[in-house]
Structure 1
């Protein structure tokens, strides 16, 4: 077989794997972090994040049900969804997701923000679907979670392309010495978040690039998902972190290569003085 023929076969095999294999091969990832502001009363809390399901032509309700089962198997204390429930190009708003998402249970609550596809499709409609599924949707708003005499905050920011993100408003009522978990669909919002009393930002949006070439990186990442493309980022002289989840579904092209869909479990602890 010629070199060109071998390359064509390899390219074809990679495409088949990316379309029919990897994009359904969900990776479970655990991240352990410790913070000075994190309350000891919440030590060991399991925060489970999923993102960017992009329901529609290329991701079905049956596949969403599988995601829900995987999330529940992680025994979440708190669940965070970081946007793009539906795909605005190949999907449509549907109440059919409500009984599936309603199966998600977490004793500290379920929280969500909207993504750019949600905003383009129908922001009020997507918000209604999430709320009727048991999620608290945070748009420049916050929610305190209390345990004994301790509390932490879950804060959600409005979407950056089509909304009006206002972090000072979202942080209203929080105290500077209290732990803040920020949900922001676009990871590059971290450049703003790091200037405020925020400890951990969870984001999605980039899909990790969907197609990542070894020794090169992603072929394409969207605007506002280019600086913090994938995974965990730390910052010098700060405890602030941003984590960019690779998401569940796909957009533009139904393919993933070297960039598996992801469900992330965060186990947080109080840093010893």
Structure 2
């Protein structure tokens, strides 16, 4: 199993790839470049976008043992922790939606925390995230439950998005089923892995959405599952050694990027929004929109 990653600073710049081939539980260390959009933008007339409108576009290749051959090359877009109304630029959100649509992924995953503390931005969440043109699957985060999970669920469902709270859906794609499993938020103790997996296929292409990364420790081991999460903001303000120690003490050993955990894979998105603390408390992390290309790997090859 391996993951390659390339960071793009704009659509016109060449991306550099970083690959990692080590098996077992680990985090791949990846190079990240802030997206700096230079020149006119249809959503802001300024010649240069403001700093708070910047975000990264990550390109990842996930090698998934045992997934259906038909899904080789399947494209996924992943956004998390948008935190509308908490120092997150509306221009950034609109540009992120536009970037996703321009790349025409097969699936779009949203993994929670669309608001922060106040219910005031709730209508804006639905407005700003209404434009995706690919099928969208949604799970909720801890802040969503603290504010108004019911409003968000019904709002997303009105858009035609699929909201999963300890549920799964089997979606036919390219002549084979994709199983999307949405586990509710573990931070607020609403996660129920057993209920989510009940009746779901036990093999094939199985993709897990859940807000809190540590839920990966509760997944069936050696399942060749891929979990997409957020919550951590990539560490938000990273000080080498200190940030990781603080997160581990808080029960968050998975901070950013790609991990192998007990025969499954995990990707922790750094989040599109700034979240609690405002725009100037990110250090060593960047607002992120992640893209994935899935590659089929024979199970026997992965075990060799």
- TM-score range (shorter-chain normalised) is 0.7 to 0.9
**Residues 74 and 147 of structure 1: CA distance in aligned 2, closer, same or farther (over 3 Å):** closer
- Tell me, yes or no, if the aligned pair for 2:187 and 2:212 is still in contact at 8 Å: no
DSSP-derived class of the 1:247 partner: coil
Summarize the Cα distance change of 1:174–1:196 in structure 2 as closer, same or farther, 3 Å threshold.
farther
1:30-68, CA deviations, whole angstroms, 9 ceiling, x for partnerless residues?
Answer: 111222321111211110000000011412433321221
Alpha-carbon spacing, 1:154–1:269, altered in 2? closer, same or farther (3 Å)? same
On the 8 A contact 2:79/2:111 being kept in 1, the answer is yes
C-alpha contact (below 8 Å) 1:55/1:91 kept by paired residues:
no
Give the CA deviation at 1:85.
0.6
Match of 1:98 among 126, 130, 135: 126
Where 1:168 maps in the other structure, the secondary structure is helix
Number of aligned positions between the proteins: 249
Pairing partner for 1:247 from 256, 271, 279? 271
Q: CA deviation at 1:217?
A: 4.6
| 2: CA distance, partners of 1:176 / 1:45 | 20
Decide whether the 8 Å contact of 1:140 with 1:170 is kept in 2. Answer: yes
Partner residue in 1 for 2:54: 25
Give unmatched runs, 5+ long, in structure 1. Answer: 1-19
What residue is the counterpart of 1:210 in the other structure?
236
Is the Cα–Cα contact under 8 Å of residues 111 and 137 in structure 1 kept in the other structure?
yes
The answer for the alignment partner of 2:288 in structure 1 is 262
User: Per the alignment, in what secondary structure is the counterpart of residue 212 of structure 1?
Assistant: coil
Q: Secondary structure at the match of 1:205?
A: coil
Deviations 1:233-270 (A, max 9, x none): 0136x2x1111000011222112112011111110021
Measured in 2, the distance between the counterparts of 1:148 and 1:248 equals 30
User: 1:197 deviation in Å?
Assistant: 3.5
Query: 1:205·1:247 contact (CA, 8 Å) conserved in 2?
Result: yes
Equivalent pair of 2:83/2:273 in contact (CA under 8 Å): yes
Q: Distance in 2 between matches of 1:100 and 1:253?
A: 22
Instruction: Indicate conservation of the 8 Å contact 2:84/2:121, yes or no.
Output: no
Aligned to 1:117: 143
Residue in structure 1 matching 2:255, options 229, 238, 241: 229
User: 1:23 offset after TM fit, Å?
Assistant: 5.1
RMSD after superposition: 2.5
Q: How is 1:67-146 mapped onto 2 (pairs within 5 angstroms)?
A: 67-88=96-117, 92-106=120-134, 109-146=135-172
Partner of residue 45 from structure 1, selected from 74, 92, 96: 74
**Matched residues in 1 for 2:249 and 2:137: separation?**
24
Among 144, 155, 159, which residue is 2:181 paired with?
155
* Compared CA separation, residues 71 and 46, structure 1 to 2 (3 A): same
What is residue 21 of structure 2 aligned with on the other side?
none
Give the Cα–Cα distance (whole angstroms) in 2 for the partners of residues 198 and 128 of structure 1.
Answer: 32
Alpha-carbon distance in structure 2 between the residues aligned to 1:213 and 1:157? 31
3-state SS in 1 of match to 2:291: strand
Larger helix share, 1 or 2: 1
Aligned with residue 191 of structure 1, among 193, 196, 217: 217
Q: Which has the higher contact order (CA 8 A, sep 6+)?
A: 1
Q: Which runs of 5+ in 2 are unaligned?
A: 1-48
